[in-house]
């Protein structure tokens, strides 16, 4: 019995097998013997690539509406009968359409995703009756969440266009169903999206995809320009939410592992739940501080997000945060060691879940990179040296800072008051 | 049960070349004789509005279509008050008399039918 138990335990694989090309479409899968399967269609269709503001957000919410095969209602009810879950996720660079379901239902769900990609109708009435209310509620939720809002504003300041484009459409967006249709045609053009599976073998997924998907190559894929970092200051008067400031710096170019280590080094939160941190960042009463590290294909944003009930507490933490950001270059060897270990754990733990695997490795598959394992990313963190870290930290804070304040702008500090 | 469009033999007549040849002139004469065109209306302006399906269909018109519909109905009401048809240059021509609302009503009807189908589905284990 023990032997059979051991035999059934398999190591969870952390990397996709090499992506295969099925008719101009990259297909990659990873099977760790889970009871459920997830198939993701990952397209380079984030707001970074949009021509009109908000169209990527509209496309995300237009997923799983009427197609040539079935209506929006039919899609939902039929998936419910199979017990599957359909979801669409938008990041700044990618749009992921995901179906999660039980083993054995692969054919239905791959066909469903294929029809969503190929033949969604983009009806005007569906846009107005189903998509716009969903957009509106997400925008309302954004306006009630100062942390997310601060990160959105920080991106706009840091990268302006491209990566600076908001994940959310503006309230009363000027986007029409025709705009969404045009964006979708370019987003799901040949070579612009990949199929990623987990819990399904590569050959099975490739066979299903070959049968179901025939990407059109008529529309050109959406384009974007290389990112550069700008920085700046933005203040937004709101009431009701916690006082929020974001202090950060960005760097253009492929994100260096040193920045991940820096974010881990800056994080003042203790590793043990309920433990009391001695970090000066958390000196303010009930003030919370989160280290933010957001890597993209050709830029990264590193910073600290500070939230608290009073502007005075946030100001104290903000001063400590600026000191920590500026003093990071003088890191001690053992501090660097623990920061690297923390960064490695975060990377690995993030890629543990199903969504994490797609988020971490999907873009590499889509970019046609041969290196689709997590080991390489972890190994690059191992190579972080004290000198390299100091240089990266010094270069980072030489840039113009990105500063966002949301809440009581009368009382919240300005960037120069914090010593930026 | 008859939908908002009522019982119609039109699809059957249209499917038969002989019948449609026989009935087309009659239909044209009837449409011209029923006077709504002389009041500047389109046929779909006469569709009974007080039904959820048609209300939903009306909400799906483009702003321009909805505006034009309101204009035609107001103009016809005014002409009715005056007990006289519109001047001849404002009459609806047969080419202008398109079924702008019909496709929307049919779409709403089929959506409701589909919803009823899914609501009353008998699921069998394979």
pLDDT at A284: 67
Whether residue B47 is contained in a domain is answered as yes
Nearest CA-CA distance, residue A112 and chain B, Å: 18
Contacts of A169 (CB under 8 A, 6+ apart): A53, A54, A55, A57, A58, A135, A139, A175
pLDDT digits (tens, 9 = 90+) for A332-376: 889 899 999 999 999 888 887 788 888 878 888 888 776 677 788
Radius of gyration (C-alpha) of chain B in whole angstroms: 18
User: So where are chain A's domains?
Assistant: 14-212, 232-418
Radius of gyration (C-alpha) of chain A in whole angstroms: 23
Nearest CA-CA distance, residue A86 and chain B, Å: 18
If you average pLDDT over residues B104-114, what whole number do you get? 94
Task: Output the CA–CA distances (angstroms, integers) from residue A107 to A77, A80, A113, in the order listed.
Answer: 17, 15, 10
Whether residue B11 is contained in a domain is answered as no
User: What is the number of domains present in chain B?
Assistant: 1
Q: Which residues of chain B have a CB within 8 Å of the CB of A73?
A: 111, 114-115, 118
What is the percentage of chain A residues whose pLDDT exceeds 70?
A: 95
pLDDT at A17: 66
Task: Output the CA–CA distances (angstroms, integers) from residue A298 to A76, A92, A252, B120, in the order listed.
Answer: 37, 12, 6, 52
d(Cα A101, Cα A303) in Å, to the nearest integer? 38
Whether residue B16 is contained in a domain is answered as no
Contacts of A291 (CB under 8 A, 6+ apart): A263, A264, A266, A267, A268, A269, A302, A303, A304, A305
User: What CATH number is associated with residue B55?
Assistant: 1.10.1090.10
Q: Which of B60, B114, B121 sits opposite A71 (nearest CB)?
A: B114
pLDDT at B4: 62
Nearest-by-CA chain B residue for A128: B60
> Where do we find the tokens 């840091």?
A158
pLDDT range class, residue A2, cuts 50, 70, 90? very low
Whether residue B50 is contained in a domain is answered as yes
Nearest CA-CA distance, residue A166 and chain B, Å: 29
Q: Which of B60, B62, B111 sits opposite A71 (nearest CB)?
A: B111
pLDDT at A82: 93
Tokens of A335: 């501090």
Identify the residue with better confidence: A367 or A206: A206
If you average pLDDT over residues A99-117, what whole number do you get? 94
If you average pLDDT over residues A389-399, what whole number do you get? 92
d(Cα A123, Cα A18) in Å, to the nearest integer? 38
Whether residue B122 is contained in a domain is answered as no
Strand (E) or helix (H) holding B32: helix B17-33
> Has residue B1 got a pLDDT over 80?
no
pLDDT range class, residue A396, cuts 50, 70, 90? very high
- Give which of A71, A105, A132 to mutate to test B binding, by max B Cβ within 10 Å: A71
pLDDT at A235: 96
Whether residue B7 is contained in a domain is answered as no
Q: Which of A73, A125, A128 sits opposite B118 (nearest CB)?
A: A73
pLDDT digits (tens, 9 = 90+) for B59-105: 999 999 999 999 999 999 999 999 999 999 999 999 999 999 999 99
pLDDT range class, residue A23, cuts 50, 70, 90? confident
Whether residue B90 is contained in a domain is answered as yes
pLDDT at A180: 96
Q: What's the domain range around B74?
A: 34-112
| Region A232-418: CATH code | 3.30.830.10
CB distance A305 to A292 below 8 Å: yes
pLDDT at A68: 93
Nearest CA-CA distance, residue A137 and chain B, Å: 21
> Where do we find the tokens 């269609």?
A41
Nearest CA-CA distance, residue B60 and chain A, Å: 6
pLDDT digits (tens, 9 = 90+) for A145-195: 999 999 999 999 999 988 999 999 998 889 999 999 999 999 998 888 899
d(Cα A261, Cα A263) in Å, to the nearest integer? 5
pLDDT range class, residue A133, cuts 50, 70, 90? very high
Q: Does A14-212 match A232-418 in CATH topology? A: yes
At A36, is the secondary structure helix, strand, or coil?
strand
- Give which of A65, A70, A73, A124 to mutate to test B binding, by max B Cβ within 10 Å: A73
Q: Which residues of chain A have a CB within 8 Å of the CB of B114?
A: 71, 73-74
Tokens of A54: 């908000």
Q: Which residues of chain A have a CB within 8 Å of the CB of B59?
A: 125
State the complex-level ipTM: 0.85
Mean pLDDT, rounded, of chain A: 89
Q: Which residues of chain B have a CB within 8 Å of the CB of A124?
A: 60, 62
Indicate yes or no: CB of B123 within 8 angstroms of CB of A81.
Answer: yes
If you average pLDDT over residues A111-123, what whole number do you get? 94
Contacts of B7 (CB under 8 A, 6+ apart): none
Tokens of A78: 């039929």
CATH architecture of A14-212: 2-Layer Sandwich (3.30)
Indicate yes or no: CB of A74 within 8 angstroms of CB of B114.
Answer: yes
> Has residue A7 got a pLDDT over 50?
no
If you average pLDDT over residues A90-96, what whole number do you get? 94
Whether residue B19 is contained in a domain is answered as no
Indicate yes or no: CB of A124 within 8 angstroms of CB of B60.
Answer: yes
pLDDT at A5: 41
Using left for φ > 0, alpha for ψ between -120 and 50, and beta otherwise, residue A234 falls in beta
């Amino acid at each position: 019995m023990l032997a059979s138990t051991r035999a059934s335990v398999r190591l969870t694989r952390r990397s996709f097998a090499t992506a295969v090309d099925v008719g101009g479409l990259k297909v990659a899968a990873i099977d760790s013997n889970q009871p459920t399967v997830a198939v993701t269609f990952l397209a380079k269709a984030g707001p970074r690539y949009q021509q009109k503001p908000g169209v990527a957000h509209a496309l995300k919410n237009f997923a799983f509406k009427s197609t040539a095969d079935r209506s929006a209602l039919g899609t939902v009810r039929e998936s419910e009968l199979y017990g599957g879950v359909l979801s669409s996720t938008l990041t700044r660079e990618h749009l992921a359409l995901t179906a999660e379901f039980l083993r054995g239902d692969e054919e239905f769900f791959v066909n469903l995703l294929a029809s969503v990609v190929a033949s969604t109708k983009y009806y005007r009435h569906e846009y107005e009756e189903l998509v716009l209310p969903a957009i509106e509620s997400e925008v309302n939720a954004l306006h009630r969440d100062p942390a997310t809002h601060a990160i959105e504003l920080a991106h706009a300041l840091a990268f302006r266009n491209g990566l600076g484009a908001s994940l959310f459409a503006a309230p009363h967006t000027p986007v029409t169903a025709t705009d969404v249709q045009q964006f979708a045609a370019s987003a799901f053009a040949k070579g612009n999206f990949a199929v990623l599976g987990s819990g399904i073998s590569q050959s099975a997924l490739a066979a299903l995809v070959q049968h179901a998907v025939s990407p059109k190559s008529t529309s050109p894929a959406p384009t974007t320009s290389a990112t550069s970092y700008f920085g700046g200051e933005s203040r937004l008067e709101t009431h009701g939410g916690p006082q929020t400031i974001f202090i950060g710096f960005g760097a253009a170019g492929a994100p260096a592992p040193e920045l991940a280590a820096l974010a881990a080094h800056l994080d003042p939160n203790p590793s043990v739940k309920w433990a009391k941190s001695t970090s000066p960042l958390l000196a303010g009463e009930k003030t919370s501080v989160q280290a933010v590290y957001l890597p993209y294909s050709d830029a990264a944003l590193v910073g600290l997000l500070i939230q608290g009930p009073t502007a005075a507490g946030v100001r104290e933490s903000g001063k400590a945060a600026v000191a920590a950001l500026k003093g990071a270059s003088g890191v001690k060897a053992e501090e660097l060691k623990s920061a690297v270990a923390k960064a490695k754990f975060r990377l690995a733990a993030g890629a543990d879940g199903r969504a994490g695997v797609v988020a971490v490795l999907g873009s590499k598959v889509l970019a046609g990179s041969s290196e689709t394992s997590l080991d390489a990313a972890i190994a690059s963190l191992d190579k972080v040296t004290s000198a390299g870290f100091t240089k990266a930290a010094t270069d980072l804070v030489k840039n113009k800072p990105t500063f966002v304040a949301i809440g009581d702008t009368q009382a919240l500090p300005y960037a120069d008051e914090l010593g930026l | 049960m008859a939908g908002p469009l009522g019982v119609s033999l039109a699809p059957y007549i249209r499917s038969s070349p002989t019948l449609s040849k026989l009935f087309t002139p009659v239909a044209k004469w009837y449409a011209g004789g029923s006077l709504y065109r002389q009041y500047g209306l389109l046929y779909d302006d006469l569709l009974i509005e007080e039904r959820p399906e048609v209300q939903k269909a009306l909400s799906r018109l483009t702003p321009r279509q909805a505006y034009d519909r309101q204009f035609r109905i107001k103009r016809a009401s005014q002409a009715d008050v005056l007990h006289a048809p519109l001047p001849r240059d404002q009459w609806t021509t047969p080419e202008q008399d398109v079924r702008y609302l019909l496709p929307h009503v049919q779409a709403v009807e089929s959506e409701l039918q589909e919803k009823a189908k899914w609501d009353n589905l008998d699921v069998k284990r394979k």
